[in-house]
Amino acid sequence: MGDKDKYLIDIAHEKTYQNQFDDYHKEFSKWRTDEENPYGYNFVHDVREHTYVDGEGYFLKSAEAAERKALVKCISLLGVIMLMMTAIDAIASMMFYRLFQDPAAYSIYFSSIKSNSISISPSLTLIYGCMMLLKHLLGLWLFIHFTRIPSKVAVPLPKGAKLSKSGIFLMFVIMVFGRVSNYFLHIVFGWINIDGVYSLMIHNPDDLVSDIIYVVFNCILVSIVSEILFRGAIMQTFRQFGDTFAIMISSIAFSLTFYDLSSIFYAVLCSAALGLFTLRTGSLKSAIIMRVTSACASFALSCLVLDNYSSGRIVEVFISAFIIGVAAFIFARLMCNGKWAFVIRDDPSEITNASKLRIFFTNIPTVIWLIGVLGMILLIMRFV
C-alpha cells in the first residue's frame, strides 16, 4: 500500500455482498462508482483534505452526507414509481365501481362466500390481468431506466445459483399462516362491522376460462415481474445502504400494494422471506418459484372453499395441517444438520436503520404515495 492509499477512504471499493457471484460484484461496483450516477452511494476522500466554509472554518468531507444524498434520491424515485402504480390500481378500482358499483369487485369478501358473488367475464378478467401486469412492467422499466442499474444486478440469475427447496416449503407455511390470520382478523374486523377480504382473486365457478386467465396473468406473469421489481431492481439498488434495510424497504413497498388491512401484515412476512432467500442464494430463481407456487396453491385452496364451503373448509384444514407437519419435519432436520442458519451481514453504514426509515417516511414523494395507499384502503373498505 502506498503512502497515499493509506489516507484514502473508498466506501464502494471496500464493500462486498454476501452470496453474490463475481459478475454481480463487478457490475454493481462499476455502477456505484460512476460519478454521473446520482443513485449510487460512493464516497472517495483523502482524509488529509479539508474544506473551508465561511463562518464555520475547516472540516472533513463526510461519508454520511454522501450516503444521505444517494439515499434520498433512491427513496424519492421509489416513492414516485409506487405512486404511479397506486394510480393504476385506483383506475382499476374505479373501473370496477362503474361496472359493478363495487371498487373491489376483484376481491372476494367473507360475506361473499355464502352468498352470490360477482361473476366477472373472461374479457374483464383479461383486462384486469393486463392492467396488473402493465403496472409492474411500467414500474420495473421506470426504475431501471432512471437508476441505470445493470441487468445482472437488477435481475440476478447466475447459472451457478441453486434452487432452495426449503424456501418453497417455507412459503407454503407462510401461506397457511396468512390464511389462518386472515380468518381471525375477519372475526376482529367483524366486531366493528368491517367486511374482511377472504382472497385477492377473481374466481368464476361457472367459467373455467376466467380462472385460467387469472392464474396465467396474476399468479404466474405478475408474480414473476413483481419479484424482478421488488426483490430484483428495488432490493438490489437499496443493498448499498445495507442488506437489512434493503429487505425492509422492499417489504414495505411490496406489502403496500395490497390495500386490505388483513393482507398487509401477511405480505410483509412473505416479502421478508422472499428477500431473505434471494440474498441466501444470490439469485431470483428461488424467490420467483416460491412466489408462483404459493400464489397458485393459494388460488387452488380458495377455489376449493368457494365452490363448496362446508366440505371445502374441512379439506383446507387437512391440507394446511399436512403442510405444517411436513415443513416442521424438514426444518427440524435442516436445523439439526446446521443448514438452516443464515445471518444477514450488513456492511458498515454511516446512517442507522432508524434514521434511514425516518428519511423514508418523511420524504415528500413517499408521503404522497402513503396518502394514496390510505385512500385506496378506504376506497375498498366494505362495511356490513
C-alpha gyration radius of the chain? 23
Q: Which residue has the higher pLDDT, 114 or 227?
A: 227
Look at 96 and 340; give whichever has higher pLDDT.
96
Q: Which residue has the higher pLDDT, 257 or 341?
A: 257
Query: Stretch 225-241: mean pLDDT, rounded?
Result: 95
Q: Would you say 109 and 195 are in contact if contact means Cβ atoms under 8 Å apart?
A: yes
| 3-class secondary-structure state, position 37 | coil
- For residue 263, pLDDT beyond 80: yes
Lowest pLDDT segment from 65-69, 94-98, 228-232: 65-69
Give the pLDDT confidence score for residue 46 in this predicted structure. Answer: 47
pLDDT cut 70: percent of the chain above it: 86
DSSP assignment of 99-153: HHS-TTTTSEEGGGTSSPPPPPPHHHHHHHHHHHHHHHHHHHHHHHHHH---HHH
> Between these two residues, 155 and 336, which has the higher pLDDT value?
155
| 3-state SS assignment for residue 157 | coil
SS3 of residue 162 by DSSP: coil
Higher per-residue pLDDT: 55 or 361: 361
Q: Which one-letter amino acid corresponds to residue 367?
A: V
Q: Is the pLDDT of residue 234 over 80?
A: yes
User: Any bridge partners for residue 199, and if so which?
Assistant: 108
The pLDDT value recorded for residue 12 is 62
Choose between 361 and 308: higher pLDDT: 361
Best-predicted range by mean pLDDT (49-53, 159-163, 210-214, 324-328): 210-214
> pLDDT tens digit string along 165-179?
888 888 888 888 888
Say how far apart CA 150 and CA 32 lie, in whole Å. Answer: 10
Asked whether residue 102 carries a pLDDT value surpassing 80, the answer given is: yes
pLDDT of residue 56: 47
| 11: Cα separation from own chain's centroid | 27
Domain boundaries, the chain: 5-63, 75-383
Parallel, antiparallel, or unpaired: how do β-strands 44-46 and 197-199 relate? unpaired
Scanning the structure block, which residue is given the C-alpha cell 414500474?
A: 139
Please report the pLDDT score of residue 43 as a whole number. 67
C-alpha dihedral sign at 312, 318, 321, 325: negative
Q: What is the mean pLDDT of the chain?
A: 85
Of 52-61, 70-79, 128-137, 201-210, give the lowest mean pLDDT range.
52-61
Q: What's the pLDDT score for residue 166?
A: 80
Give the model confidence (pLDDT) of 281-297 as tens digits.
Answer: 889 999 999 999 999 99
- Say whether pLDDT at 140 is over 90: yes
DSSP bridge partners of 195: 382
What is residue 228's predicted lDDT score, i.e. its pLDDT?
A: 97
